[in-house]
Structure 1
Amino acid sequence: MASSQLKTGSRADATAAGGFRAVAPVLALCWLSVFFDGMDVNIYGAVMPYMLKDHGLGLTTGVAGTIGSWTTFGMLIGALVAGSVTDWLGRRPLLTVSVLLFSTGSAVCALANGVTMFGAGRFLAGLGLGGLMPLCLAMVMEFAPKGKVALATGVLMTSYHSGGMAATGLGLSIAPSHGWRWVFAAGAAPALVAVPLLLRFLPESPAALLAGGRRAAADAVADRYGLARPVAPEERATGARGRWESILALFGPGFRWATPLLWAASFCGLLLVYGVSTWLPQLMRASGYGLTDSVTFLLVVNAGGIVGMLFAGRIADRFGPARISGLFFAFTAVGVLLLNSHLPLAATYVMVGVTGVWLFSAQTMVYAAANAIYSSDKRATGLGWVTGVGRFGAVVGPSLAGSLVAGGRQDLGFTAFAVAGVLGAVLVTLAQFAARIGARRPVVAAAV
Structure 2
Amino acid sequence: MSSTTVQPAAAAHRRLSIRVTALCWVLVLLDGLDLFVYGATLPGVLADQDFGLTTVTAGEIGSLTTFGMLLGALAVGTITDRFGRRKLILTGVAIFSVAAAVSAAAPSVGVFAAARFAAGIGLGGLLPCAIAMVMEYAPAARKNLNVTVLMTAHQAGGALAGTLAMSVVESLGWRSVYWLGALPALVVLPVVAVMLPESLTFLLAKGKTDKARVIADRFSVPLGDFAPGPENARQPGGLRGLFTPALRATTLLFWVASFAGLLLVYGVNTWLPTMMRASGYNLGSAISFLLVINLGGIAGMLVAGRLADRFGARPVALTWFTLTGLGVGLLAIPMPLPVTYVVVFLTGSWLFSAQTLVYAAVGGHYPAKSRATALGWVAGIGRFGAVFGPWLGGVLIAGGISGWGFAVFAAAGLLGAAMIALIGRRSAGVAG
- TM bracket (short chain): 0.7 to 0.9
Q: Deviations over 1:307-363 (max 9, x none)?
A: 111100000111111111111112222333344456555544443322221111000
- Percentage identity across aligned positions? 50
The residue that corresponds to 1:95 in the other structure is 89
Structure 1 distance, partners of 2:421, 2:46, is 40
The residue that corresponds to 2:113 in the other structure is 119
Q: From 164, 181, 198, give the equivalent of 2:192.
A: 198
The residue that corresponds to 1:373 in the other structure is 365
Q: CA deviation at 1:395?
A: 2.2
Corresponding letter in the other structure for 2:240: L
Residue 215 (structure 1) aligned with residue 209 (structure 2):
yes
Tell me which moved more, 33-42 or 334-343.
Answer: 334-343
Check 1:426–1:176 CA distance in 2 against 1; reply closer, same or farther (3 A cut): farther
Tell me which moved more, 374-383 or 73-82.
Answer: 374-383
Structure 1 distance, partners of 2:171, 2:358, is 40
Tell me which moved more, 372-381 or 105-114.
Answer: 105-114
Answer yes or no: is the 8 Å Cα contact 1:107–1:185 preserved in 2: yes
Answer yes or no: is the 8 Å Cα contact 1:332–1:421 preserved in 2: yes
Q: From 62, 67, 74, give the equivalent of 1:80.
A: 74
Corresponding letter in the other structure for 1:197: V
The residue that corresponds to 1:301 in the other structure is 293
Residue 266 (structure 1) aligned with residue 265 (structure 2):
no
Check 1:347–1:173 CA distance in 2 against 1; reply closer, same or farther (3 A cut): farther
Structure 1 distance, partners of 2:279, 2:110, is 29
Q: From 69, 74, 77, give the equivalent of 2:63.
A: 69
Q: Deviations over 1:90-138 (max 9, x none)?
A: 2222111101212233333334455544332221111011110001000
After TM superposition, the structure 1 = structure 2 runs for residues 269-418 of structure 1, keeping only pairs within 5 Å, are 269-280=261-272, 296-341=288-333, 343=335, 346-407=338-399, 409-418=401-410
The residue that corresponds to 2:167 in the other structure is 173
Extract unaligned runs of 5+ from structure 2: 1-7
Structure 2 distance, partners of 1:26, 1:372, is 18
Q: Deviations over 1:380-399 (max 9, x none)?
A: 22112111222221222233
Check 1:349–1:190 CA distance in 2 against 1; reply closer, same or farther (3 A cut): farther
The residue that corresponds to 2:125 in the other structure is 131
Check 1:316–1:439 CA distance in 2 against 1; reply closer, same or farther (3 A cut): closer
**Aligned residues: CA RMSD:** 3.0
Answer yes or no: is the 8 Å Cα contact 2:205–2:369 preserved in 1: no
Work out the number of aligned pairs and report it: 419
Answer yes or no: is the 8 Å Cα contact 2:81–2:369 preserved in 1: no
After TM superposition, the structure 1 = structure 2 runs for residues 247-258 of structure 1, keeping only pairs within 5 Å, are 247-258=239-250
Structure 2 distance, partners of 1:358, 1:257, is 26
| TM-score, scaled to structure 1 | 0.83
Extract unaligned runs of 5+ from structure 1: 1-13, 237-241, 441-448
The residue that corresponds to 1:11 in the other structure is none
Answer yes or no: is the 8 Å Cα contact 1:82–1:131 preserved in 2: yes
3-state SS of 1:18 partner: helix
The residue that corresponds to 2:101 in the other structure is 107
3-state SS of 2:39 partner: helix
Structure 2 distance, partners of 1:46, 1:283, is 20
Check 1:37–1:212 CA distance in 2 against 1; reply closer, same or farther (3 A cut): same
3-state SS of 2:162 partner: helix
Check 1:209–1:105 CA distance in 2 against 1; reply closer, same or farther (3 A cut): same
After TM superposition, the structure 1 = structure 2 runs for residues 230-249 of structure 1, keeping only pairs within 5 Å, are 230-231=227-228, 233-234=232-233, 246-249=238-241
Answer yes or no: is the 8 Å Cα contact 1:86–1:208 preserved in 2: no
The residue that corresponds to 1:186 in the other structure is 180
The residue that corresponds to 1:58 in the other structure is 53
Q: CA deviation at 1:89?
A: 1.9
